[in-house]
Structure 1
Amino acid sequence: MSDLDSTTPRVFLVRHGETEWTKNGRYTGTTDLPLTPYGIEQVAGTAALLVGPHKLVDVARVSSIWVSPRKRAQQTFKCLFDSEDPNVGISIDDEKVTITEDIAEWDYGDYEGLLVGEIRQKRKDEGLDQEREWDIWRDGCEGGESARQVTERLDRVIEKVQDLQRPYMNGEKPVDAVLVAHGLVLRCFMKRWLKLPLDAELPMIFSPGAISILGYKNHDVNQPAFFMGMALPAQK
């Protein structure tokens, strides 16, 4: 028996498309930026290839969707699912959709809109980090969230997802889940899914408009895992 197959529930992580601050690397937390025109194209391209009947994300198999309240995530959701085709379309007010701050981007507080280099210089000017450089995974953000606060809210979502999927580990009912959110918080989510602390060393790259996949080994809810690679469903 394979560790993971099409009957094992999955969790799809969707990063929103490009914004103006995504392009230049500025930390974007609470600032409510829209997608750029190219960002919309990114998500539309992902949707065309991967979302729909017999595709990677088949809405017939999706039982729950969590969406960040930020405009860029809402736009991404609509680009992915807002279709007149009932086999593809899911509206934002569908009962299976939950809009929640629990998957909003890390609140960067005083570091909102800054580049990494600017944040590190700001902290050194304040007398911080004399022996080691600032690391958001460990140090959090002044005036914003700590790693502990982000962990607590993501763990709430993981508990809800796993409670929904636990009874159906062998395909008794399709219960795939989708999270539409942000680059850093979704990487945090992956660490917590794997039961790792946020400051655990796990370098990750997550492109705007991309989809990552989580699941379980051996159909066991106590063995959360991530897909290193997944064959796409055969087209019918």
Structure 2
Amino acid sequence: MSKKLPQIFLVRHGETEWSKSGRHTGRSDIPLTEKGETAAAWLVERLPPRAFNAVLTSPSQRARRTCELAGFGSRAEIDDDLAEWDYGQYEGVTTPDIHKQHPGWNLFRDGCPDGETGADVALRADAVIEKIRDIAGDVLIFSSSHFLRVLAARWLGLGPEAGLFFVLDTTSISILGYEHNLDEPVIRSWNET
């Protein structure tokens, strides 16, 4: 019998007022909306019944509350590396408003003034990947969209700018894993809502 390969379950937090309106929400601690709370509670039924070897969450209120409502709050370890992108001057601003001042701006390519670059976020994602590869088994992670998108890109050995291609909805579940062995990282499922 072949050894079961570990899987990494990624959960984006539930809806907030800022995620609903498209405002970049990095370090601002915005609570879930009522809809976000309801969707997060539904994760209890949507996440597969399995014994996770570790449950990690971003320090943000929105990720921690999503984790709690999904039934994992008492098991979760807060990991600062899972924090959302630091948007610096673009915190609370929408992409269309940024484009009025900087046409063609792309978060994953250009980063944020007084915030993080894609390379900065990739370093944190690489640290998370190193941690989860040291855990012998399945891991459940609660975090935010842009960070998880860079994490997926880095999982595949791609640069952080590839995060552009991995869209995530609120309370979506995605699964990172392996094909035949631990040298073949893959995306097993993406943005399941």
Does the TM-score normalized on the shorter chain lie above 0.5?
yes
In the TM superposition, residue 67 of structure 1 has moved relative to its aligned partner by 0.5
Return the alpha-carbon distance in structure 1 between the equivalents of residues 176 and 111 of structure 2.
25
Return the alpha-carbon distance in structure 2 between the equivalents of residues 200 and 69 of structure 1.
25
In the TM superposition, residue 123 of structure 1 has moved relative to its aligned partner by 3.2
> Unaligned regions of 5+ residues in structure 2, if any?
none
Partner of residue 105, structure 1: 84
Partner of residue 222, structure 1: 183
Give 3-state SS (helix, strand or coil) of 1:69's partner: coil
Pick from 46, 65, 69 the counterpart of residue 79 of structure 1.
69
Return the alpha-carbon distance in structure 1 between the equivalents of residues 151 and 55 of structure 2.
15
In the TM superposition, residue 14 of structure 1 has moved relative to its aligned partner by 0.4
1:67·1:103 contact (CA, 8 Å) conserved in 2? Answer: yes
CA deviation vs aligned residue, 1:35-78 (integer Å, no higher than 9, x gap): 00110111112222x23xxxx242x2x01111100000010010
Give 3-state SS (helix, strand or coil) of 1:66's partner: strand
Partner of residue 130, structure 1: none
Pick from 97, 101, 106 the counterpart of residue 135 of structure 1.
106
Distance 1:6 1:108, change over 3 A: farther
Q: Does 1:209 align with 2:157?
A: no
Q: Does 1:30 align with 2:31?
A: no
| TM norm structure 2 | 0.91
Structure index of larger Rg: 1
Q: Give the CA RMSD over aligned residues.
A: 2.0
Return the alpha-carbon distance in structure 2 between the equivalents of residues 10 and 99 of structure 1.
20
- Map of 1:129-208 to 2, 5 A cutoff? 133-165=104-136, 175-200=137-162, 203-208=165-170
Report the count of equivalent residues: 190
Partner amino acid, structure 2, of 1:110: Q
Which 4+ stretches in 1 moved above 4 angstroms?
A: none
1:46·1:210 contact (CA, 8 Å) conserved in 2? Answer: no
Return the alpha-carbon distance in structure 1 between the equivalents of residues 3 and 62 of structure 2.
30
Return the alpha-carbon distance in structure 2 between the equivalents of residues 41 and 103 of structure 1.
23
Higher relative contact order (CA 8 A, sep 6+): 1
Return the alpha-carbon distance in structure 1 between the equivalents of residues 186 and 99 of structure 2.
33
> Unaligned regions of 5+ residues in structure 1, if any?
83-89, 125-132, 166-174, 230-236
CA deviation vs aligned residue, 1:203-234 (integer Å, no higher than 9, x gap): 2221111110010111x2111111148xxxxx
CA deviation vs aligned residue, 1:182-219 (integer Å, no higher than 9, x gap): 0111111100100100113762221111110010111x
Return the alpha-carbon distance in structure 2 between the equivalents of residues 139 and 76 of structure 1.
30
1:162·1:221 contact (CA, 8 Å) conserved in 2? Answer: no
Q: Percent identity?
A: 38
Return the alpha-carbon distance in structure 2 between the equivalents of residues 157 and 66 of structure 1.
10
